[in-house]
Structure 1
Amino acid sequence: MARQLDGKTAIVTGATSGIGLAIAEGLAAEGATVVINGLGTQQAIAEAVERIQNRSPDGGVHHREVDMRNPDEIQAYMNAVEEKHGAIDILVNNAGIQHVDQVEDFPREKWDDIIAANLSAVFHATAAVLPGMKVRDFGRIINIASVHGLVASLNKAAYVSAKHGVVDLTKVTALENAERNVTCNAICPGWVFTPLVEAQIEKIAQTEGISVSDASDTLLREKEPTLRFTKAEEIAAAVLFLLSAAGANHDRQLSYIGWRMDCAMIFRRTGC
């Protein structure tokens, strides 16, 4: 039986765990050839590749090492994928890192790394794939932003700044390609239980001298009305909708997909 992404090649950055891994699994299940990168030990990377492969034995999955803070490596990464597979049909910009500190205590190198990995990488990857997408008159770019692309939190100056930038870059990209069959959307999840968030919970517990369970509740109460974590698979489902025929031409400036006010806000086409 044909699947909606048969014959398509997709890149998912930051896909060795968490949201990116769930997205890569979802794309593979729909028949895409998936190319991933991400942090982790060799064993963790191998396990991620195996999980994705198991969802689509005939679709294929490939892992490539790339430093998403380095524009030259990003360009080489995109060129290599296009040369090997003939086209990049789908780009999911998901890679991200985090550091928590007050503005005056925020290490300069951490600021630079987060802006490079969370914002500049999205720009460089997008700029690298757009020419081919325009020539073929087909492309789907999905940026995994964050609720922190819409609102702020204490002690996250770099992350909040980067994610706001991703949301606005999404709008510009969508506007510039509004008359083509090339779309660009941003998904802004609330709290998703990933290794990145797990580390934040552990830091809250340590800093405030409370249990991990209480720290988890503290984090959720900050911005999560349902008081539960979103599942990575739920974000993957939103991505698959945007790749489907049903999601190909949403005319609304702001479309909400999901189950809570901050779960998945998607900017599309008209840019708002």
Structure 2
Amino acid sequence: MSAHLSPGTPRVALVTGTSSGIGEAVVNMLCQQGHQVLAVDFNEAGKTVAEAAGAAFFQADLTGGDACRAAVADAVKRFGHVDILVNNAGIQHVESIEAFAEDKWRRILDLMLTAPFLLMQAAWPYMREGQWGRIVNIASVHAQVASPGKAAYISAKHGLIGLTKTAALEGGESGITANALCPAYVRTPLVDSQIADQARMHGMEEQEVIEKIMLKNAAIKRLIDPSEVAALVAYLASDQAGAVTGSSWNIDLGWTAQ
């Protein structure tokens, strides 16, 4: 089991939301480091991404608890245990609170808060047995601040910070760390779709959305590359980050510095 692995030995990682963007970059990074990776995504296109990186693939709609438990079980069946869990899967819907549909609210909370909890719960016994675990939750700058039109997304991300802190406190004695990453806008398909939604909601051109909304509060005026987030995930998933837990890591272009 993991407890007997020497520092620097490749681990078993389960990563969610891997068909593009941050998740794809994380899978690529962890595979390049020699880890055994199970990539989990609702989209079958994730299989192509996984195979190209050298990862295994498990297709699942993580809004259901059984699917979350099945994903962890598949990782254990393939590799024997789970050492690293990266909760990245997410969706977005931009709408005012008044107009926000209940089914969309519930789906976002199920995928982005309940699923990380259930995946963590299922992987926990294997990390505890191995006395080594790394949980990295991809939150958002919107786990720190709010913006109009994103009630469900922001609620889920704020909740994810609380879940991360609780996991850090409960996991310390078992060598399990839990941290959250809080990036600002990353150049991903999810963000690209938000640009169109924001343009519609605010009556702007799409380039105006990038300049006047997405980068308005940023000291560095550009979108973040997914590889920049993946590099920080790789550090937090490493032996070197064993003393780092319960933290929220802002990678936000200076957004929250003001």
1:10 equivalent in structure 2 = 13
2:48 equivalent in structure 1 = 47
Counterpart CA distance in 2 for 1:67 and 1:146 is 21
Query: Normalization by structure 1: what TM-score?
Result: 0.85
Counterpart CA distance in 1 for 2:191 and 2:248 is 26
- Aligned-pair CA distance for 1:260: 3.6
Of 195, 199, 202 in structure 2, the residue corresponding to residue 205 of structure 1 is 199
Percent of aligned positions that are identical: 36
Residues 206 and 49 of structure 1: is their aligned pair in 2 closer, same or farther, counting only changes over 3 Å? Answer: same
Residues 170 and 203 of structure 1: is their aligned pair in 2 closer, same or farther, counting only changes over 3 Å? Answer: same
Residues 205 and 104 of structure 1: is their aligned pair in 2 closer, same or farther, counting only changes over 3 Å? Answer: closer
Residues 259 and 121 of structure 1: is their aligned pair in 2 closer, same or farther, counting only changes over 3 Å? Answer: closer
- Aligned-pair CA distance for 1:50: 3.8
Counterpart CA distance in 2 for 1:9 and 1:212 is 40
* 1:19-168 correspondence to structure 2 within 5 Å: 19-40=22-43, 42=44, 44-53=45-54, 61-168=55-162
Residues 161 and 112 of structure 1: is their aligned pair in 2 closer, same or farther, counting only changes over 3 Å? Answer: same
Q: In 2, are the aligned partners of 1:191 and 1:224 still within 8 Å (CA)?
A: no
Q: Partner of 1:112: helix, strand, or coil?
A: helix
Counterpart CA distance in 2 for 1:255 and 1:122 is 16
Counterpart CA distance in 1 for 2:181 and 2:28 is 18
- Aligned-pair CA distance for 1:119: 0.4
Counterpart CA distance in 2 for 1:74 and 1:246 is 28
Higher relative contact order (CA 8 A, sep 6+): 2
Residues 8 and 99 of structure 1: is their aligned pair in 2 closer, same or farther, counting only changes over 3 Å? Answer: same
Residues 258 and 73 of structure 1: is their aligned pair in 2 closer, same or farther, counting only changes over 3 Å? Answer: closer
Query: Normalization by structure 2: what TM-score?
Result: 0.90
1:239 equivalent in structure 2 = 233
Q: In 2, are the aligned partners of 1:174 and 1:185 still within 8 Å (CA)?
A: yes
1:218 equivalent in structure 2 = 212
- Aligned-pair CA distance for 1:217: 1.1
1:179-219 CA-partner distances (Å, limit 9, x unpaired): 22111111111111111110111223344454322222123
1:30-53 CA-partner distances (Å, limit 9, x unpaired): 00111112243x4x3343124312
Letter paired with 2:11: K
Counterpart CA distance in 1 for 2:63 and 2:46 is 19
Aligned-residue CA RMSD (Å): 2.2
Counterpart CA distance in 2 for 1:259 and 1:221 is 10
Q: How many positions carry a matched residue from both structures?
A: 251
Q: In 1, are the aligned partners of 2:18 and 2:46 still within 8 Å (CA)?
A: no
Residues 130 and 154 of structure 1: is their aligned pair in 2 closer, same or farther, counting only changes over 3 Å? Answer: same
Residues 153 and 259 of structure 1: is their aligned pair in 2 closer, same or farther, counting only changes over 3 Å? Answer: closer
Where does structure 2 lack aligned partners over 5 or more consecutive residues? 1-6
2:170 equivalent in structure 1 = 176
Counterpart CA distance in 1 for 2:113 and 2:169 is 19
Letter paired with 2:155: S
Counterpart CA distance in 2 for 1:114 and 1:91 is 20
Counterpart CA distance in 2 for 1:199 and 1:255 is 26
Counterpart CA distance in 2 for 1:89 and 1:112 is 29
